Structures are given as structure tokens and as C-alpha cells.
């Protein structure tokens, strides 16, 4: 069925509501990469077999991940007249029990986390349900502002109708029938949205420049190379709500006058690759990609291209080299991609999270969006909080939220209840901040002023028993392996830094080596060609400044007494 007009869209919305509030009980299992890694595929298969064997009157569906992979496999249970219930850490045994309970119209208590109240779906009040906390009040969702992740792990990611029922494609419809491309760009400028991949460049300004170029051919590239170790927000969006991303990409194409979008996906996400291709086929069938999108006269083709496992290809100019079938080398700028990008044509490169924000901005207006966040950094940001922390996962909060609140209130503090030693915001390039520097606002300006960066939002939490020399050496090894080799300061310099760091770690170094390490770092910082080479020494230099004790312990005794 191709959606041609508003009536088709309304019909689809009704279908989506029926699917989200079904007449017969429905169990949906989280089948994202993480769910499957923890056995969700096995549960899904067993359930289907059980259903067939006993001719159960239960529907079985799928959903994505909410960003808290350790709570997977998750299950959403929808019973007629009741709000959906969210269950965590499912097993085959627990699901079997759940099916028995559903038959008896009983609410299973084991693994129940919360109920998902949805204002779009009116329901009768039920005293039985009062005891169950609401999605917004249940940890770990509490205190978050899940604009982008709200539907991840709730709706069926491959169901267009469920996405439409949640408000999907109303932004694209509005843009096509009520707004000119220039007005779309205006709205994005007004929102103050800035690139979420790490560079934080104003998205609207980038689009405006691309729109004003006169070239016949222009390209939209979605950067899904999510290479920062510790980041998985883009994967969660792509696997949890792919049509939202597609809607954002088509809006970008409409705004700048491009008819081809390319998602450059990292090679390490094979499951996501299959999944996105499936979603693209579905979107095409519904007329949401391809010729005459949504019945308009706008055509748009979207393709997924796999990368080759190279970190530097996440940098936009190297990414374009890779798309052209070359070795990924960062190019000197100018010319910028908006003038001469892919195949020398005007190109915009935007991160997955950035593009997923676009439908929200068009639907609710730039002004509404600009009301969230700080004066200079608007909107929400997804932070990937990992390491020695009680509840790791993706936390979406307004920019400007206090870092301590995220770590202690939301993520529950350190894993073993002990003291936190250091926190790295913006891994791998962000500096490690000691415990006393954590009372800060999470926004690009604050972190920049501290001599660090917010990056793509990876927050690594380390407790007292972690050795900073070990962690910094690990990070340096990453930089050495991912250096493209184009400039000597990075290729040779960072390599030498790693050699010295290894000597320090193994207790073979002297205090003179530490001074040399600092001198070398200062030099590379100023002379490297791109952000990768220039950023690598910074984190070491700041690390030595704040955690000198660890370095000295390794130099004098060969180890540090606090690491296990």
C-alpha cells in the first residue's frame, strides 16, 4: 500500500493504534543486536513454536532496544484495555509462565519494570495497575527526556503503522504540503540544532549553504560510522526506530534539493546492515522512499553502504573518500563538503542522532526545540554511560544537565558502591576528569572551556581500583592503530608516545621519560593534520596533570597499589 495523501496516513495511523492496543494479548520481544546476543532469538523462536503447538490466542511481535542492553531480553506485554507492560531479563522459562498468566488474565510480577502510559491511547483506569510505576518514574528511564529514544524498545521497529501512530511522518507531510525547502531550513536554523557526531556544527547553517548552491546533483550522507568505542546510540536508533531516521534523511534531501541519501554504516554492525535494508524495502513499499514520496512530486533514493572497519572514515572527508571507493584519508578543508563533497558535488554529512532530531523540529517547530537545553546548545543529547557504573546504558537528557546527576542519580553511581576516581566525557578524545570536577553542565561549551570535549557523548566511569596509566595506554593504542598515516606527527609521534607509555606502565621508565612524553605531546598537539592526531596527545597531557600519582607510582614501583 502506497501512502498518497492524508487519508492514507490517517488509515495507517488507525492500523497502528490497533496494533499498539490490540484486541488479543500480544507479547513483543526485543530483537536488537543486544537482545539477540542475550538469547532473545531463541525465546522468540520457542514462543512461536509454543503458540503453534497449543494454538494460543496470543500475538507475538518484536521491538528494539531501549538503550539498556543489560536489561535485555526485554518484553512488552499488551493486554486488551491495559497499558503496555515492560518486562526485563526474560528467559524461556519466564515467558512460559507469562503465557500461563495471560491465559488467566493475571499480571505477571516477575521481571516487571513499568507500565508505558501513552496519552495517544485512552484507557480505563485500573486499580490493579496503580502499583506499577510509570515509564517516566521507573529507573533507569526516570529523569530522562526521551525525545529520540522514547519509542525505541516500545514500538515494532519494522512497523510503519506503529511509527505513524506515534506521530511519525506527520513532519514530512507537513514539510511537503505546507513548507518550502527554504522554510524547512529556516526551522532547523531556528531550532539551534548542532551536529551530534562530535563537531557540533550548526545543522541549519550547513543545510542553508548546501541549499544555496546551484549544482544539479547534491547528496545527503548519514554518518552511521559510530566509531567512538563506547558509543551505541546510533545503533539503538537505527534498530529501534529506523523510520524516524529515514524521515529525517528525506527531510534533509527535501531541504537542500537532493534526491540521493547514503547511510555509511560501520562494518562492525552486520545485524544493523541487514535490518536497515529490510526497513528500506518496507519504506519503499509504503511510498516513503522512491518515486513520489508521500504522494508528492519529490523523489528520493536511500542506500546503505558498509564501511571497512576504519575509525578515521567517521571523519566526514575520509568518509566520502571511502564512499568513492578509496582509502579513507582526511582531506584538507576548504573546500568544504557543502561546496565540493562526494564526487565533487555539494554534500551534507550528518550524524544519525542529528537527523533523527529533524522530524521533531519540523513537527513541533524550531522555537519549541530551542526551548530545550542551554543558551548555546539546544535539544536533548543521548549519553552512553559505561564502565564501572551501577546501571550502564543510554541516557537521553537535555543539554546542560549536570554530569553528577547523570552519573549518580540516573546511573546509580559506581558499580561496587565505592568512590568514583575519574570520568571521561567525550571518549575517546575527552579528558579524564577527577571526582572533584564532575559538578558541571553537560554541554559542548562547558567541556571545551575545561580543555576537554563532549564528543559524541560517551561517558566512561572509572572507580578507585582503576589505574589511569592502563586506561590511557589502552586509549593510545587505539589511536596508534587507527592513525591513517598521512602526517608524521600522528603516525610517528603518537606511536612514540605509546612506546613511552608502555615503558611507564611496565615500570621501565624514569621521570625523564615522563617529561619527554609531555614535550612530545605538546608538539603533536600543534602539528597534526586532523582532529584525530591533534586530539590524541591532549588526553594524555591532561591525564598526567590530574592523575600524576598513577604515573609516578608506575615509574617508581612498576605498578600502582590500587589497581587489581
Write out the residues near another protein by the rule CB under 8 A: 33-34, 36-38, 68-70, 72, 226-232, 235, 267-271, 305-311, 322-328, 384, 386-388, 392-393, 427-428, 458, 460, 462, 466, 471, 474-475, 478, 481-482
Q: Least distance in Å: CB of 458 to another protein?
A: 8
Nearer to another protein by C-beta: 203 or 310? Answer: 310
User: Which helix H or strand E contains 211, and what residues bound it?
Assistant: helix 203-212
Q: How far is the CB of 538 from another protein (least distance, A)?
A: 16
* Cβ closest to another protein, residue 118 vs residue 226: 226
* Beta carbon of residue 61, minimum distance to another protein (angstroms, whole number): 22
Identify any residues that bridge with 414 across adjacent strands, giving them in sequence order.
389
Q: How far is the CB of 102 from another protein (least distance, A)?
A: 28
CA distance 47 to 44: 5
Residue closer to another protein (CB basis): 298 or 479: 479
In the bound state with another protein, the residue whose beta carbon lies nearer, of 101 and 465, is 465
From the CB of 235, what's the least distance to another protein, in Å? 5
Residues 181/190, Cβ–Cβ less than 8 Å = no
* Cβ-proximal residues to 60 (8 Å cutoff; 6+ apart), any chain: 26, 27, 28, 29, 44, 47, 48, 51
- C-alpha to C-alpha distances, 340 to 82, 137, 210, 222, 351, nearest whole angstrom: 54, 48, 10, 17, 19
Q: List strands edge to edge, sheet with 260-265.
A: 301-306, 260-265, 219-224, 347-351
DSSP calls for 436-485: GG---B-SHHHHHHTT---TT-EEEEEETT--HHHHHHHHHHHHHHH--S
Instruction: Fill in the DSSP letter of residue 300.
Output: B
Compute the least distance from the CB of residue 415 to another protein, in Å: 10
Question: Among 102, 128, 133, which residue's Cα sits nearest to residue 117?
Answer: 133
* DSSP three-state, residue 205: helix
For the bound state, the minimum distance from the C-beta of residue 529 to another protein, rounded and expressed in Å, comes to: 17
Tell me whether residue 327 or residue 518 sits nearer to another protein (CB atom): 327
Q: Closest CB to another protein among 70 and 439?
A: 70
Smallest gap from residue 323 Cβ to another protein (A)? 7
- Nearest to another protein of 14, 70 (CB atom): 70
Pairing of β 26-30 and β 59-63: parallel
Cα 428 to Cα 231: distance, rounded to the nearest angstrom: 10
Query: Toward another protein, which CB reaches closer, 129 or 327?
Result: 327
Q: Closest separation between CB of residue 293 and another protein, Å?
A: 25
Per the CB < 8 A criterion, the answer to whether 72 and 30 are in contact is: yes
Query: 3-class SS at 302?
Result: strand
The H-assigned helical ranges of 366-411 are: 366-370, 403-404
Nearer to another protein, 208 or 226 (CB): 226
Specify the residue, 175 or 532, whose C-beta has the smaller distance to another protein: 532
Vertex 171, ends 166 and 260: CA angle to 5°?
115
**Measured from the CB atom, is 227 or 534 closer to another protein?**
227
Q: Smallest distance from the beta carbon of 41 to another protein, in angstroms?
A: 9
CA distance 424 to 67: 20
Shortest approach of another protein to residue 430 CB, angstroms? Answer: 11
The nearest distance, CB 291 to another protein, in angstroms, is: 21
The bridge status of strand 458-463 relative to strand 380-387 is parallel
Cβ contacts of 118 within 8 Å, gap of 6 or more: 20, 83, 84
Query: Which residues, in sequence order, are bridge partners of residue 29?
Result: 62, 75
Whole-number minimum distance, CB 326 to another protein, in Å?
Answer: 8
Give the Cα separation of 357 and 364 in Å (integer).
Answer: 11
- What gap in Å lies between CA 409 and CA 406, rounded to an integer? 6
Question: Which of 187/550 has CB closer to another protein?
Answer: 550
Beta bridge partners of 397: 381
With respect to another protein, which residue has the nearer C-beta, 191 or 466? 466
Residues of the chain by 3-state class (helix, strand, coil), percent to 5: 45, 15, 40
Q: Looking at 318-457, which runs of residues are DSSP E strands?
A: 347-351, 380-387, 393-398, 420-425, 432-434
Amino acid at each position: 500500500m502506497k501512502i498518497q495523501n492524508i487519508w492514507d496516513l490517517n488509515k495507517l495511523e488507525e492500523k497502528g493504534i490497533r496494533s499498539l492496543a490490540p484486541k488479543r494479548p500480544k507479547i513483543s520481544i526485543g530483537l536488537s543486536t543486544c537482545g539477540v546476543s542475550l538469547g532473545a532469538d531463541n525465546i522468540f523462536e520457542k514462543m512461536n513454536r509454543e503458540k503453534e503447538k497449543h494454538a494460543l490466542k496470543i500475538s507475538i511481535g518484536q521491538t528494539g532496544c531501549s538503550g539498556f542492553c543489560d536489561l535485555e531480553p526485554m518484553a512488552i506485554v499488551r493486554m486488551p484495555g491495559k497499558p503496555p507492560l515492560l518486562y526485563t531479563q526474560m528467559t524461556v522459562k519466564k515467558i512460559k509462565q507469562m503465557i500461563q498468566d495471560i491465559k488467566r488474565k493475571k499480571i505477571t510480577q516477575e521481571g516487571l519494570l513499568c507500565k508505558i502510559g501513552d496519552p495517544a491511547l485512552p484507557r480505563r483506569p485500573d486499580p490493579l495497575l496503580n502499583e506499577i510505576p510509570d515509564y517516566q518514574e521507573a529507573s533507569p528511564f526516570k529523569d530522562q527526556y526521551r525525545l529520540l529514544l522514547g519509542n525505541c524498545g516500545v514500538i515494532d521497529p519494522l512497523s510503519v503503522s506503529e511509527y505513524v501512530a506515534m506521530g511519525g511522518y506527520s513532519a514530512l507531510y507537513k514539510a511537503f504540503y505546507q513548507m518550502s525547502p527554504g522554510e524547512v531550513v529556516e526551522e532547523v536554523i531556528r531550532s539551534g540544532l548542532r551536529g551530534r557526531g562530535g563537531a557540533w556544527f550548526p545543522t541549519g547553517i550547513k543545510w542553508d549553504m548546501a541549499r544555496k548552491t546551484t549544482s544539479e546533483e547534491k547528496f545527503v550522507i548519514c554518518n552511521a560510522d559510530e566509531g567512538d568505542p563506547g558509543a551505541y546510540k546510533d545503533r539503538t536508533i537505527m534498530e529501534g526506530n529506523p523510520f524516524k531516521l529515514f524521515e529525517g534523511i528525506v527531510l534533509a534531501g527535501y531541504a537542500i534539493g537532493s534526491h540521493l541519501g547514503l547511510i555509511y554504516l560501520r562494518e562492525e554492525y552486520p545485524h544493523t546492515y541487514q535490518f536497515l535494508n529490510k526497513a528500506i524495502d518496507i519504506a519503499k513499499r509504503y511510498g516513503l522512499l522512491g518515486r513520489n514520496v508521500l504522494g508528492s512530486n519529490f523523489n528520493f533514493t536511500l542506500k546503505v553502504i558498509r564501511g571497512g572497519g576504519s575509525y578515521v572514515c567517521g571523519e566526514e572527508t575520509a568518509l566520502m573518500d571511502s564512499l568513492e571507493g578509496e582509502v579513507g584519508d582526511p582531506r584538507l578543508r576548504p573546500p568544504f563538503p557543502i561546496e565540493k563533497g562526494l564526487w565533487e558535488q555539494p554534500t551534507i554529512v550528518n550524524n544519525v542522532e542529528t537527523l533523527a532530531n529533524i522530524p521533531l523540529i519540523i513537527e513541533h517547530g524550531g522555537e519549541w526545540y530551542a526551548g530545550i537545553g542551554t543558551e548555546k546548545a539546544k535539544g536533548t543529547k543521548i549519553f552512553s554511560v559505561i564502565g564501572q557504573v551501577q546501571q550502564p546504558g543510554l541516557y537521553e537528557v537535555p543539554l546542560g544537565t549536570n554530569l553528577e546527576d547523570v552519573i549518580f542519580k540516573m546511573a546509580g553511581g559506581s558499580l561496587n558502591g565505592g568512590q568514583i576516581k575519574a570520568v571521561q566525557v567525550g571518549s575517546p578524545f575527552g579528558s579524564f576528569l577527577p571526582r572533584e570536577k564532575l559538578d558541571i553542565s553537560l554541554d559542548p561549551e562547558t567541556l571545551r572551556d575545561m580543555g576537554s570535549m563532549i564528543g559524541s557523548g560517551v561517558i566512561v566511569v572509572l572507580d578507585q581500583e582503576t589505574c589511569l596509566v592502563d586506561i590511557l595506554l589502552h586509549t593510545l593504542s587505539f589511536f596508534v592503530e587507527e592513525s591513517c598515516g598521512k602526517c608524521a606527527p600522528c603516525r610517528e609521534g603518537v606511536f612514540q608516545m605509546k612506546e613511552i607509555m608502555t615503558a611507564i606502565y611496565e615500570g621501565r621508565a624514569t621521570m625523564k621519560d615522563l617529561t619527554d612524553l609531555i614535550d612530545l605531546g605538546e608538539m603533536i598537539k600543534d602539528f597534526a593534520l586532523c582532529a584525530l592526531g591533534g586530539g590524541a596527545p591532549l588526553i594524555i597531557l591532561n591525564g598526567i596533570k590530574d592523575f600524576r600519582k598513577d604515573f609516578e607510582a608506575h615509574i617508581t614501583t612498576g605498578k600502582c597499589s590500587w589497581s587489581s
